[in-house]
Structure 1
């Protein structure tokens, strides 16, 4: 069953407080992305959480371009990348170390990623300069790693919750909550008190509430913040959409040395390049990739 309250971001702010937030719900979009990569359960759940975090952070930035959430570590899942585009397009993948791929089925997030770094990148359309913040990968789970990033890099009090699991029907579902204090209130004592109160309320959210298809986003937010009231903004739909294309693949591969490109070809001279995000395969001749004309 497809829910009308799926694959969306619900922006909101708390009445009378300089605090904004995002609630994300992913159903068919998450299921399509996570099943595409044929991952063990724990890395797949980790990727689902990253999709939620990417959507919430990226949509809060309110810009045209690509927001990238990337974690790299020395653990079995040594790279995790998600892209969010301003139109609500999502894509993501997690890379496993081949020799350890069979041993990560039940590992917690901290063990999967290991020691490493978390980078958030903003690539604005029409702007040649990219903004990237980089911090050490610290936290018991991916949401707490994201909280550490905002504490260290942006110095904005931020709370994240994210959950990713298969439902009773076997389909993946993902839910997430983001709360952030904005540096607008001149009364620092009031701002601190408001943030402490909002945090306490937000931390009462249960994983099942973030996933429950029968509980709409407005109903959940009212349940959490009804004491002071919550203002809802326009819902933004989310889509499973990759930006890869044959032209983009050619542009990237042509940066490789000629010998390396020729070594990629099979016995028939064909080179197959597979997008890590959407798993689409592109076939070329070595000559095409080298820019040779027949």
Structure 2
């Protein structure tokens, strides 16, 4: 049984590499998406591999996505997406370029991209300026955990990600939970920014409200290694809305297999955002 599963997995991998895998997604986007079928073939460039941010750029890799509108409720549209290539964040970046970003996309539907939020590929920022703008926006929302902050962003963040002197409760540093789940854009090459839902994060009652860091996190803080940078990081529990992005894999089809899933609730005609 194991050998057979490994063989099937190998064949699927080969189909992915040879672009023989048919993929179909559904999403909910801002505004009234065109009724007619829309094809976007704008090249996509990775701004930062570690952070996982991309943009439309002539120097990017060629790619193609076809979109078909399913419904429009006066504010947002439900759209089917058919990616013919598998570039990183391809669907999300192409929708942003078209001026219809995914409603709750934490990266490509933000003001960091400018007044038009990257519509038409207009950003008017260098890659470094864009990353800095994204960091600052997530810092203001205390949602920096949405970005995969590693070496790429450390020179940009500087002391901004550290806690404010005299008020530990304003800290935006994060602690990876022991038991966590990750929501990703399920695709072979188009990985999304990871949203982590923490199950063992520090209870709110333990968060420091004093001016003395040593009382911060009470006994929980005492358990952390003072020499470990990761142990000094605190992440508040995300809300249910933070754990779901309105982009869903409907169907994967290869030469010898097919996977189909149900239409999500937020894609129904009578759905209303609460």
TM-score of the pair, normalised by structure 2 = 0.26
User: Is the strand fraction higher in 1 or 2?
Assistant: 1
User: Is the helix fraction higher in 1 or 2?
Assistant: 1
Higher relative contact order, chain-length normalized (CA < 8 Å, sep 6+): 1
TM-score of the pair, normalised by structure 1 = 0.24
